[in-house]
Structure 1
Amino acid sequence: MPVPDLFDEHSRFLLAAIVESSFDAIVSKDLNSVIRSWNAAAERMFGYPAEEAIGKSVTMLIPENLQSEEVDIINRIKSGERVESFETVRLRRDGSTINVSLTISPIRNAQGTIIGASKIARDITQAKEAERRIRLLLREVNHRVKNQFAVILSIIRETSDRAAGPEEFQAQLRDRIMALSRSHDLLVNSDWSGASLLELIHHHVGVFGHEQLVTISGPLVTLNSNAVQHLGMAIHELGTNSAKYGVLAQGLGAISIDWKIGEDEDGNRILDLVWREELLETVAARLESPSRRGFGSVVVERVVPLALSGKATLERQPKRVIWSLRARLDALTQPD
C-alpha cells in the first residue's frame, strides 16, 4: 500500500494559499489558451468570478488590437521560454482597460512536458498615471523655463541699454533677477497654482524696509502664474524707485497700495490696482527724469499692462507718484 507524500501535499497546500492570497492576479491556462485556474486577485482585477473565467479563452481579456500577443506568448511557452515582464493593456469585464505588467512561465507535468502557462498580472494603472503626470509636469516646467529665459534675456537687454556703466548694470540686473526669484518662490510653494495679490505685494515691498510707511488693502485675489511674475516686476520697480528717490529713501511720507474689484461697461469683472506714494517734503520723487525713460517706466507703463491685457497710467509729481492698473479679473486669475 503506498504511503502518502505528506511533504508534497503540504507544499501544494502552501502554494495554493500563497496564490489565493496574492495581491497580483495569478492565472493558469493550457496550450489552447483556455483558463484553468483563477485566483481572487484576478477576480478583483478583471471583474470575472472564477466560475465565469475558468474554461473560457484568455483572449477575452485581450483588446482586439493586441490579440497577436497571445499567439506569440503560446509559441514561446511551447518552446520552453519564460516570458519576462512586459507592460501591456488588458480588458475588464465591464469593457474598461487596465494597464498591467505580465510575467508568463511554462507549466510542466510530472514528466517534464509543457502543458500550459502561468500568468502573473500586476496592476500598474497608478504607476502609468504617475508617469503621465510627470511627463505633463516636465512639459510644463520646460514651457515655464523657456518663458523665464525670455523674460531674463529681455531684462538683460533693457538693463544694459539703460545702465550708466558696468557697476550700475550689475546691481540693477542682480536686483531684477532676485525680484523674479521672489515671485518664483511663491509659485513653487503653491505648486504653480498661483499666489494671493496681498502675499505678492508683501513679498516684494518687504525687502525695502520701512514697512510702517506702507499700507496694503484689498479683497482676496488669487493670481495666476503670469500675473504673479508680471505684477511682481511692477511692484519691484516701483519699490526700487521709492527706495532711491521717494518715501522708502526718505523715511517720510506714506505709500498705499489698494485694489478693488468692479465691472466695466460690458459687465466684465475688473481689477483696479493703485500704488499711491505721498511725500511730506519736496524731494525728487520720480521713476526717472521725463527726458530719460528707464526700464522701470517701460515695465510699469507698457510691459505689465500688455502682459495682463490691461491698461496702466503713471503720474509723476515732485511729491507724488501714482501708478494705476486696470485689467480684467479673468486675465489675472484664470489658470494659464
Structure 2
Amino acid sequence: MTNRENLLGELPAAVYTTDARGRITYFNEAAAELWGNRPEIGKDEWCGSWRLRTADGAPLAHGDCPMALALRTGRAIKGAEAMAERPDGTLVPFLAFPAPLRDDLGNINGAISLLIDISAQKQAEIQTQRLASIVESSDDAIISKDLSGVIQSWNAGAVRLFGYRANEAIGKHVRMLIPDDRQQEEDLILGKVRSGERVDHFDTLRRRKDGSYVAISLTVSPVRSAAGKVIGASKIARDITERKESESRIRMLMREVNHRVKNQFAVILSMIRETGKHTKTIAEFDTQIRNRIMALSQSQDLLVDGDWRGADLADLVRNQIRPFAAERRVHISGQPVMLSTIAVQNLGMAFHELATNSAKHGALSSDLGTVEIGWTTSDRFHLTWKETSGPAVGKTSRNGFGRIVLERVAPSALNGLGHLSFQSNGITWTLDAPLELVTTPDF
C-alpha cells in the first residue's frame, strides 16, 4: 500500500481513485461504508456504488457519474450532487468532488474523488421545508422577532390577520401592532423571553393596518441559537374574535336566563298564592298547581325550541289544547303570528285556563261542543276564543285564578284589554292589544 493510500485510508471522508479508463484502483473504508458495497479493484468502473441516482431520484448510469464526467472533460468538478443506492435499497445523497490525476507530462493517468455524505443536511432541509410549509399554511399569524422587538419573519396568516404584507412588516418594530395603552405588554414579553420563559395563551388586543382592533390569543416562545443562547422570539397570534363574541353572548344569555328565571319564580309564586285562595282541599290544590306549572313548562319548551326568540301562535294553542285530547273539536284560524316571549308566557297561561274550564264545564266537556280560536293583526292584535254547542253556562261571580289570568294578568302584561262573556252555550274571551307587544320585532 502506498503512502498516499495510507493517508487516504485514515480520512473520515469517502475517497476513491480510478485509472485513466475509469477502473477503480483504490477506495477507503469510508467510501465502502457510503456505498454499502465493496467494488472489485481493477474491474468495477467509475463508482463503487451498487446503483446510482440523480439528485431528484432518477436512475443514473455509472458511465454518467461525476467521476466519468471529470475523466472525459479533463476538468475537476466541484460538488456534483447524486445519490448512491445501496444493495438494501437505502439511498445516500452525496456531493462528489472528482479531479483528474496527471503525470509529469500532463497526461491524464487516473482520477481521484472525494465523496461527502450529505444525508444529515438533506434531512435538515426536508425538516426545514416542512416546517416552513406548516408555518406558511397556518391560519394563525406566526411571527419571529429579535430581542429588540424587530420583526424578522411574517407568514401568510399574519398578512390575513393584521393586513400588512411581509415587506411592510419585516424590519419594523412589533410595537406597530400594539395599541398605545398596551405598549407595556411588549416590555413584559421581551423580559420573559430574554430569561428563557414562554408566554402561553395570553389574551390581548392588537391593531391592524386599517386601524381596527382584533382580539388575539398570543403565545410567545424563545428562539435559541445552536449553542442554546436566546436570540429572539417566535410569536403565534390566533384570532379569538368569535370566541370573545361567543363568550359575550353567553354572558348576555346568562343574564337573560337569570332574569327569566326570576320572572318564572314570580309567576309560579303568584300561581301558588292565587290557587291556594280558590281551592278547598290539598288534593285540589295539588292537581291545579301541578297542571298550571306543566302548562307554563310547555310554553317554555316552545321558547327553547325557538331559541328564545318567540313561538308561533298556532303552535302555542295546539300545545296547550293537546293534554285535553280535544284538538279535533278546536278550530284555529288566523295568519301566522310569531309571538314575543312575554306573549308566549301569558297567552299560554290564558289558553290553559280556558281549556281547563272548557274541559270541565264548557264546550269541551260535551261531545257536540266546539271551540273556535281566531285572530287578526291589521292595526292591533285581536284574538277571540269562542265556545259553542256546549252545556248551558251561568255567569259566575267567583273570581277564580283562571278569571284573574284572563281579565287582568294576561291583558295587563300585553298592555291590552281582556273581556270574558258568558253565553247560553259557552263562554267567549277576547283580547285586544298593541301588535308590537304581542309579536316579535321581526314579525
Closer, same or farther in 2 for the Cα pair 1:42/1:165, shift >3 Å?
Answer: same
Length, aligned pairs only: 326
Per-residue CA deviation, residues 29-74 of structure 1 (Å, 9 max, x unaligned), is 1111100111111111111111110000000011111100001111
Q: 2:145 aligns with which of 29, 33, 55?
A: 29
Q: Deviations over 1:91-127 (max 9, x none)?
A: 1111111111111111222333222111111121222
Matches within 5 A, 1:218-237: 218-237=334-353
**Structure 2 counterpart of 1:129, from 228, 245, 265:** 245
CA contact (8 A) 2:338 2:440 kept: no
Aligned to 1:55: 171
State how far apart, in whole Å, the 1-side matches of 2:259 and 2:441 are.
Answer: 14
Partner of 2:75: none
- Determine if contact 2:310/2:440 at 8 Å carries over to the other structure: no
Structure 2 alignment gaps of length 5 or more: 1-113
Correspondence 1:151-300 to 2 at 5 A = 151-262=267-378, 269-279=379-389, 282-283=391-392, 285=393, 289-290=396-397, 292-300=398-406
Name the counterpart of 1:321.
427
Q: Higher helix proportion, which one?
A: 1
Distance 1:219 1:32, change over 3 A: same
Shift in CA distance, 10/257, structure 1 to aligned 2, threshold 3 Å: closer
- CA RMSD, aligned part only? 2.0
Distance 2:178 2:115 in 1: 45
Post-superposition Cα deviations, 1:137-185, rounded to whole Å, max 9, x if no partner, equal 1111111111111111110110011111101000100111111111111
Provide Cα deviations, 1:288-324, integer angstroms capped at 9, x if missing partner.
731x211111110111100110001111244231111
Partners of 1:73 and 1:216 in 2: how far apart? Answer: 67
Amino acid at match of 2:282: P
Q: Contact 1:210 / 1:251 at 8 angstroms: preserved in 2?
A: no
Aligned equivalent of 1:265: none
Q: Find out whether 1:89 has 2:205 as its counterpart.
A: yes
**What is the deviation of 1:210?**
3.2
Q: What residue in structure 2 maps to residue 266 of structure 1?
A: none
Describe the superposition over 1:254-273 as per-residue Cα deviations: whole angstroms up to 9, x where unpaired. Answer: 221121233xxxxxx21111
State the secondary structure of the residue aligned to 1:178.
helix
Structure 1 residue aligned with 2:67: none
Question: Which is further off, 207-216 or 155-164?
Answer: 207-216
- The answer to whether the Cα contact below 8 Å between 1:197 and 1:221 also exists between their aligned partners in 2 is yes
User: TM-score if structure 2 supplies the norm length?
Assistant: 0.70
- Deviation, 1:335, is 4.7
Q: C-alpha distance in 2, partners of 1:192/1:15?
A: 47
Instruction: Measure, in 2, the Cα distance between the counterparts of 1:12 and 1:205.
Output: 70
8 Å CA contact 1:62, 1:89 repeated in 2:
yes
Q: Which has the higher contact order (CA 8 A, sep 6+)?
A: 1
Question: Judging changes above 3 Å, is the alpha-carbon distance between structure 1 residues 2 and 95 closer, same or farther for their aligned structure 2 residues?
Answer: farther
The CA distance in 1 between the partners of 2:354 and 2:308, in whole Å, is 25
**TM-score w.r.t. structure 1 length?**
0.91
Deviation track 1:203-255 (CA, whole Å, cap 9, x = no partner) reads 21232223333221112211111101101111111111111111111222322
Give identity over the alignment, percent. Answer: 53
